[in-house]
Amino acid sequence: MSASIFPSLVGAVAALSVVLRRVGAAARAKAAVQRARAEQPAAPFDPVRHGLVPTAELDAERAAAPPPALVNKERQAVADAAWEGDWRPAAAYVAAAGEDWDERWLRQELLVAVAVHDADWLTEWREDQPGNCTAATVAAQLLVHQAWEVRGAGYADEVPADRMARFRQLLPAAFEAARRAALLSPTDPGPAVVMITVARAMRRPPEEFRPLWAELTARAPQHFDGHWQGLQYWCAKWCGSHAQMLDFAADALRRAPAGSPLAGIHLHALQELEKAAGPGALPTGQEASARLLAVGEALERLPADHERLPGLRHLLAYYLLLAGLHEAALEQFRLLGPWCGAAPWLGYRDPAVAFDRARAAAARGAGR
């Protein structure tokens, strides 16, 4: 099991992200690309003239440049140690994030992906440190992952009845595990994120969801993954409506502090709306444009190496283009460089072509 965490474990992390973050955004760029195709200039598009990387250098294998070798080495070491039966490096890896709750959650997701392959180390950690909130939360996260593996990734009406029934049978145990984990720490928001995830999956009514949300925001008011789960709860396909989802995202955008990715929740709301109702349902007008520009300003304040920045920047470039904010979209494409292995471009047979056509549309719209 310890042969290589990359790409094998990265694949597990990606699979876990599908379970915990069902953004479902990969195929939503078609309208923009079709528009871009229709608007192609007669002369060949010269990206270099617009400050963009050459078309030949586009790379659809990654959303951004690979992390530094030392980061990969650290993650590999954590996985190897766990698979060899030593939980201590995993515990230290999460503890090193301190009270940066967003970073801590990302590190816990890595541990869940490790445990998907072999969870003996996690069982031993729980036995050696029964009062450790992180260990208890990772165990609860693993239960959620296992339940969603049974369910599968389809919409509710696409899931076979027996699998849906088994999914619903497994969820209460995950909720109870998270509830007990919450008792182990008065400050760690991780257990609340798990409970919110399960409440959404179980379609619990708002009067049951709101106290869980209050618990999360009391512990970590700007928790990104918690807000993503909240957004999912309030979207129309789960427990709310388009209007409730958009209101939730607008509130997150207003409250997003400098240096936080929270403003990006607005982009995920646009994804959900476009998927459910088509690009014609997307907000338009000055207020909609102002919100997109506000998201762009928020992303400028994120550290350049923030793990969430590339994915959010790809979405921002796309929605700026759809909104006709060509100059702002073009700037995002410049910042993205050659990387196009992310939503929405991955929804196409050739993501690099889709990305390049979108860049061309932004350049033409900007009058360059």
Number of domains composing the chain: 2
User: Looking at the structure, do residues 207 and 248 belong to the same domain, yes or no?
Assistant: no
Distance between the two ends of the chain, CA-based, in angstroms? 52
**pTM value > 0.75:** yes
Q: Which residue do the tokens 């929740």 mark?
A: 265
Report whether pLDDT(49) > 80: yes
User: Looking at the structure, do residues 101 and 204 belong to the same domain, yes or no?
Assistant: yes
Q: For position 152, what pLDDT does the model report?
A: 87
**What is the amino acid identity at position 289?**
S
pLDDT band per the 50, 70, 90 thresholds, residue 258: confident
pLDDT band per the 50, 70, 90 thresholds, residue 32: very low
Report whether pLDDT(250) > 50: yes
Q: What angle do CA 313, 141, 250 make, to 5 degrees?
A: 40
197: domain CATH number is: 1.25.40
Q: For position 55, what pLDDT does the model report?
A: 97
Q: For position 154, what pLDDT does the model report?
A: 78
Q: Residue range 154-166: average pLDDT? A: 87
Q: For position 155, what pLDDT does the model report?
A: 81
Question: Quick one: what percent of the chain has pLDDT higher than 90?
Answer: 82
Residues 92 and 354: their CA atoms lie apart, in Å, by 42
Residue 235 lies in a domain: no
User: Looking at the structure, do residues 52 and 132 belong to the same domain, yes or no?
Assistant: no
Residue 11 lies in a domain: no
Q: For position 29, what pLDDT does the model report?
A: 44
Residue 8 lies in a domain: no
User: Looking at the structure, do residues 215 and 269 belong to the same domain, yes or no?
Assistant: no
pLDDT band per the 50, 70, 90 thresholds, residue 9: very low
Cα–Cα nearest to 166, from 150, 143, 149, 153: 150
Which of 229, 249, 281 lies at the terminal end of a domain, its last residue? 229
Q: For position 153, what pLDDT does the model report?
A: 81
Report the SS3 class of residue 204: coil
Which of 206, 229, 252 lies at the terminal end of a domain, its last residue? 229
Residue 56 lies in a domain: yes
Mean confidence (pLDDT) of the chain = 89
Residue 250 lies in a domain: yes
Angle between helices 309-322 and 265-277 (to 10 degrees): 50
Q: For position 227, what pLDDT does the model report?
A: 98
Q: Residue range 116-122: average pLDDT? A: 96
pLDDT band per the 50, 70, 90 thresholds, residue 1: very low
pLDDT band per the 50, 70, 90 thresholds, residue 43: low
Q: Residue range 320-347: average pLDDT? A: 97
User: Looking at the structure, do residues 81 and 172 belong to the same domain, yes or no?
Assistant: yes
Q: Could you tell me if 315 and 343 are in contact, meaning their C-beta atoms sit under 8 angstroms apart?
A: yes
Q: For position 5, what pLDDT does the model report?
A: 29
- Cite the DSSP H helix spans in 4-87: 8-20, 30-38, 69-83
Residue 319's φ and ψ, nearest 5 degrees, are -75, -30
Structure tokens that stand for 311 in this block: 């994915």
Report whether pLDDT(338) > 50: yes
Which of 202, 229, 256 lies at the terminal end of a domain, its last residue? 229
Residue 6 lies in a domain: no
Domain interval for residue 44: 25-67+241-368
User: Looking at the structure, do residues 59 and 177 belong to the same domain, yes or no?
Assistant: no
pLDDT digits (tens, 9 = 90+) for 57-74: 999 999 999 988 888 899
Residue 2 lies in a domain: no
User: Looking at the structure, do residues 32 and 51 belong to the same domain, yes or no?
Assistant: yes
User: Looking at the structure, do residues 281 and 367 belong to the same domain, yes or no?
Assistant: yes
User: Looking at the structure, do residues 117 and 139 belong to the same domain, yes or no?
Assistant: yes
Residues 198 and 123: their CA atoms lie apart, in Å, by 22
User: Looking at the structure, do residues 224 and 96 belong to the same domain, yes or no?
Assistant: yes
